[in-house]
Amino acid sequence: MNATVTSSQNNMPKVQGSVPLQAVILAGGSGTRLWPLSREHFPKQLIALLGEESLLQATARRLDELQMSRPVAGEVLVVCGEDHRFTTAEQLRRVGRSSRIVLEPIGRNTAPALTVAALGVVEGGGDAVMIVMPADHAIVDVVAFAEAVSTAANYAGAGDVVTLGVVPTRPDTGYGYIKVGAKLDEQGGHRLERFVEKPNKDLAAAYVESGQFWWNSGIFVLRASTWLTLIEHFRPDIAVASRRAFMSSEADRDFLRLGSEAFIACPSESIDFAVMEHLARADSPARGVVVPLCAGWSDVGSWDAIWDLLPKDAGGNVARGRAMFDGAINTFAHSEGRLIACVGTENLVVVETPDAILVAKTSEVQRVKNIVARIKADNGSEVEYHRKVYRPWGYYDSIDGGRGFQVKRIVVNPGGRLSLQMHHHRAEHWIVVSGTALVTRGDESFLLAENESTYIPLGQKHRLENPGKVPLAMIEVQSGSYLGEDDIVRFDDSYGRI
């Protein structure tokens, strides 16, 4: 990897006009406040919380509107965790977006993530204006969003650092705020005076009353070289560690895997703390600008935020999935399968999944993170995984289990194949429900059709593949002294997981 960027202010670009845009999506969050739907290995950006598509897919689709007025690179640059790489790539593919995905070996917050993304842009041979977006936010008016980004790009092309500020509609203690200075020109940008942390209730009310404080959307527009200059100036420790991780990165199929040792050594810091809060200093190499965003923005940070965004019935109730209301008021019910019946409930959130149920007062939903912490302290699996676990070849659903046995429903996508593997502690019995299975067992390979089955003895090398054009569905019955997912020895894997 080669990326040479000067840190001299004199070398920063000052180019006006319609410069190309490079979308950068930061997709490393976990969203514990949206438990039990959001889990560590399937976080909120990958979930369809507001419609048929996930928040990540909705983020990528916003670029379609932006592309109507400005040239946008067809390939999206995404930074995410290794555990989410296959699902992230597949979701973007389904909305017609090609992607370059940079893999973080461990989460180090947004400043290092943006630094390696900027290095990737520069290494690609250009200095595009980046539009940096969290993967897990919602925006109602994509036309207004595109207009705000287009305005911001004009300032960013001249070397400014632009953040999109949301004019608040209410005092909110869940958002950070930006103090907005004087209007700069007829384009509508304002001078950025300072960032402030999430306030208490009284301070939030004072901020809104003053009209000088806007919500911090977490969306930034700036040149790649501008960011690299700023991070080198304000946080050289992050700049050095991120550069080392990028320079020692390796291509892994369609992903770029950062150098693990260097990235783990990188300080964990947000974009706001590392750079944005310092832009008003006299020694800052770049000016901070705020462009207003009036587009129905939300960070979708809690269940009450989702209730606020979705259509409601006459009683203010929201139903997602199988839910019924009788005499209920302002109740949010989300079902992943079972029927939720809400009778006489008021200001309540109910979220059902196959392995966990959340019931909370709407005013107390921020405390869900406390429950998540307690489950994690008790080593509960409900923090990390859903009962249905997605893999690059498809998914499995643990439908039953007990002492010495476990039953899974396995679905393999057309052309998908599990690794060639063996287990030290369990045997498996496979029954094909639909589709066709190609089974490797020891030195033999054979096909199984619907209603046919086979047995995999303990310690036997084996592989399951779907050679057909329709999904393969099968039931797997495991038996043995230990049935954990870490009892897998992989000998060959099409997805690089050995």
pLDDT above 60 for 17: no
Q: Which of 279, 299, 319 is the last residue of a domain?
A: 299
Length of the chain counted residue by residue: 498
State residue 239 phi and psi, 5-degree precision: -60, -45
> For the chain, what percent of residues have pLDDT higher than 70?
96
Put the strands of the sheet holding 462-465 in their side by side order. 444-448, 437-441, 462-465, 420-422, 489-492
DSSP 229-253: HHHHHH-HHHHHHHHHHHHT-EEET
pLDDT in tens, 190-208: 999 988 888 888 888 998 8
Identify whether 206 is part of a domain.
yes
Element (H, E) at 350: strand 346-353
pLDDT for res 11: 36
Give the mean pLDDT of the chain: 91
| Among the listed residues 25, 18, 3, the one whose alpha carbon sits nearest the alpha carbon of residue 76 | 25
CATH number of the domain enclosing 285: 3.90.550.10
Asked if residue 238 and residue 165 are part of one domain, the reply reads: yes
C-alpha to C-alpha distance for 118 and 242, rounded to whole angstroms:
10
Range 35-48 average pLDDT: 94
Q: Where are the beta strands (DSSP E) in 442-488?
A: 444-448, 453-456, 462-465, 472-480
> For the chain, what percent of residues have pLDDT higher than 90?
80
Which stretch of 70-84, 263-277, 337-351, 443-457 has the lowest confidence by average pLDDT? 70-84
C-alpha to C-alpha distance for 289 and 295, rounded to whole angstroms:
18
Asked if residue 317 and residue 295 are part of one domain, the reply reads: no
C-alpha to C-alpha distance for 405 and 482, rounded to whole angstroms:
9
Q: Model confidence at 180, in pLDDT bands (50, 70, 90)? A: very high
Domain that holds residue 327: 304-377
Identify whether 383 is part of a domain.
no
Range 453-468 average pLDDT: 97
pLDDT for res 125: 72
Q: 3-state DSSP call for residue 111?
A: helix
C-alpha to C-alpha distance for 39 and 31, rounded to whole angstroms:
8
Encode 122-174 in three state secondary structure. HHCCCCCEEEEEECCCEECCHHHHHHHHHHHHHHHHCCCEEEEEECCCCCCCC
pLDDT above 60 for 334: yes
| Among the listed residues 333, 95, 442, the one whose alpha carbon sits nearest the alpha carbon of residue 25 | 95
Which residues, other chains included, contact 231 with Cβ-Cβ below 8 Å and sequence gap of 6+?
Answer: 111, 114, 115, 238, 239, 242, 274, 275
pLDDT for res 1: 46
Identify whether 498 is part of a domain.
no
Asked if residue 400 and residue 260 are part of one domain, the reply reads: no
Asked if residue 330 and residue 281 are part of one domain, the reply reads: no
Structure tokens at 480: 């043995």
C-alpha to C-alpha distance for 234 and 155, rounded to whole angstroms:
21
Structure tokens at 420: 């060639």
Q: Which bin fits 358, alpha (ψ -120 to 50), beta or left (φ > 0)? A: beta
pLDDT above 90 for 15: no
pLDDT for res 486: 87
State residue 321 phi and psi, 5-degree precision: 80, -150
Helix axes 110-123, 236-247, angle to 10 degrees: 50
pLDDT for res 89: 93
Highest mean pLDDT among 37-51, 317-331, 484-498: 317-331
pLDDT in tens, 253-293: 789 999 999 999 999 999 999 999 999 898 999 999 999 99
Q: Which of 377, 402, 424 is the last residue of a domain?
A: 377
pLDDT for res 7: 35
| Among the listed residues 472, 475, 355, the one whose alpha carbon sits nearest the alpha carbon of residue 405 | 475
Asked if residue 267 and residue 319 are part of one domain, the reply reads: no
pLDDT above 90 for 12: no
pLDDT for res 19: 62
Highest mean pLDDT among 75-84, 182-191, 461-470: 461-470
Asked if residue 309 and residue 289 are part of one domain, the reply reads: no
pLDDT for res 3: 42
Beta partners for residue 323, in sequence order = 340
pLDDT in tens, 419-441: 999 999 999 999 999 999 999 99
Widest distance between CA atoms in the chain: 75
Please report, in angstroms and rounded to a whole number, the separation of the first and last CA atoms in the chain. 24
Which stretch of 61-65, 238-242, 426-430, 493-497 has the lowest confidence by average pLDDT? 493-497
Identify whether 159 is part of a domain.
yes
C-alpha to C-alpha distance for 106 and 263, rounded to whole angstroms:
8
Are 26 and 102 a contacting pair, CB within 8 Å?
A: no
CATH number of the domain enclosing 426: 2.60.120.10
C-alpha to C-alpha distance for 241 and 319, rounded to whole angstroms:
47
Q: Which of 238, 273, 299 is the last residue of a domain?
A: 299
- Core vs surface per residue 423-442: b (16+ CB within 10 A) or e: beebebebbbeebbbbbbbe
Asked if residue 401 and residue 317 are part of one domain, the reply reads: no
Q: Which amino acid is at 183?
A: K
pLDDT for res 90: 92
pTM here is: 0.88
Identify whether 3 is part of a domain.
no
Range 297-310 average pLDDT: 94
Identify whether 363 is part of a domain.
yes
Identify whether 2 is part of a domain.
no
Asked if residue 420 and residue 290 are part of one domain, the reply reads: no
Which residues, other chains included, contact 403 with Cβ-Cβ below 8 Å and sequence gap of 6+?
Answer: none
pLDDT above 70 for 321: yes
**Count of C-beta atoms within a 10 Å radius of residue 78:** 29
Q: Model confidence at 352, in pLDDT bands (50, 70, 90)? A: very high
Asked if residue 118 and residue 239 are part of one domain, the reply reads: yes
Are 32 and 177 a contacting pair, CB within 8 Å?
A: no
Range 474-482 average pLDDT: 96
C-alpha to C-alpha distance for 421 and 29, rounded to whole angstroms:
31
pLDDT for res 237: 97
Structure tokens at 65: 């509107």
pLDDT above 60 for 186: yes
Token pair 């090398």 is found at 461
Asked if residue 291 and residue 311 are part of one domain, the reply reads: no
Which residues, other chains included, contact 455 with Cβ-Cβ below 8 Å and sequence gap of 6+?
Answer: 427, 428, 429, 430
Range 461-471 average pLDDT: 97
Identify whether 452 is part of a domain.
yes
Asked if residue 473 and residue 366 are part of one domain, the reply reads: no
pLDDT in tens, 360-415: 999 999 899 999 999 999 999 899 989 999 999 999 999 999 999 999 999 999 99
pLDDT for res 201: 87
C-alpha to C-alpha distance for 356 and 113, rounded to whole angstroms:
32
Asked if residue 450 and residue 393 are part of one domain, the reply reads: yes
Please state the domain count of the chain: 3
In this predicted model, which residue has the larger pLDDT, 275 or 209? 275
pLDDT for res 498: 65
